[in-house]
Amino acid sequence: MGTEKTNNIQLRPAIDLLGGKCVRLVEGKFDQVTEYGSDALEIAKRFEDWGLEYLHMVDLDAARTGILSQYRWVERIVSRTSMQVDVGGGIQSEDAIRIAFESGAAQVNIGTAAIKNPNLVYKWLKTFGPERIMISMDMKMDQIQIRGWVDEAEIEWKDFLRNYVGMGAKYFVCTDTTKDGMLEGPSFEMYDKIKNVESDIFIVASGGVASMDNIYQLQDAGIQGVIIGKALYEGFITEDDIKAFTIFQK
């Protein structure tokens, strides 16, 4: 992995786990849940069959409790597929990071802890390497949200971004939380703002993807990765779309 420029964009299908079930939320709201199955491995294998190489997994239970609980699914998926898995949701301690990596995760997403304990996250960047630590920047109206998008951070997003780039962070998962699960298209304006502040980072876009056109638009805008959730589960992006895209990319 690296932050080298590329014309190809990494497609990262999302598996969000809540109570052991694969679900999607709307704008991160736990009272707006749609269930899509109870076998995350089966879903991951389907994505692998489509030619996808990456997988984004979120432990929604841990996002609320801070206790990692779905790592067994990571073990199963990593051991029975060839997908590179990044894991997020409630990762606020070094023990949680080690559990994720020991389970086979390639990367972890750090959200709330990046706001609350920057010195600790700096240590993690040094210990595990910037290729394995992804900083989550979840925003609503230019305000960073934390703790499962329940609270707002006091730090201004530009300062937050610059601080972590200064610490050596390379990977940033950037979400417009108002777009999440809405199928209204990504927040292109937000990504332009981020790139204008720090151009030499690996941005994984998240929230709002509704079509392959959106993915091509993100790629043309120089975004290196994209998380796709509801659009896959609801059929707005199909197996044929993904296979055509991955074949073309190769």
> What positions carry a catalytic annotation?
16, 138
Burial class for 227, CB neighbours closer than 10 Å (0-12, 13-18, 19+):
buried
Give me the DSSP letters along 193-204: HHHHH--SSEEE
- Cβ contacts of residue 6 below 8 Å, gap of 6+? 224
Q: Quickly count: other Cβ atoms within 10 Å of residue 2's Cβ.
A: 11
What tokens were used for 204? 């994984």
Q: In sequence order, which ranges of the chain are alpha helices (DSSP H)? A: 40-49, 60-65, 71-80, 94-102, 112-116, 118-128, 157-166, 188-197, 212-220, 230-233, 239-249
Q: For residues 128-146, b (16+ Cβ closer than 10 Å) or e, as one string?
A: bebebbbbbbbbbeeebbb
What tokens were used for 132? 């394995």
CB 193 within 8 A of CB 224: no
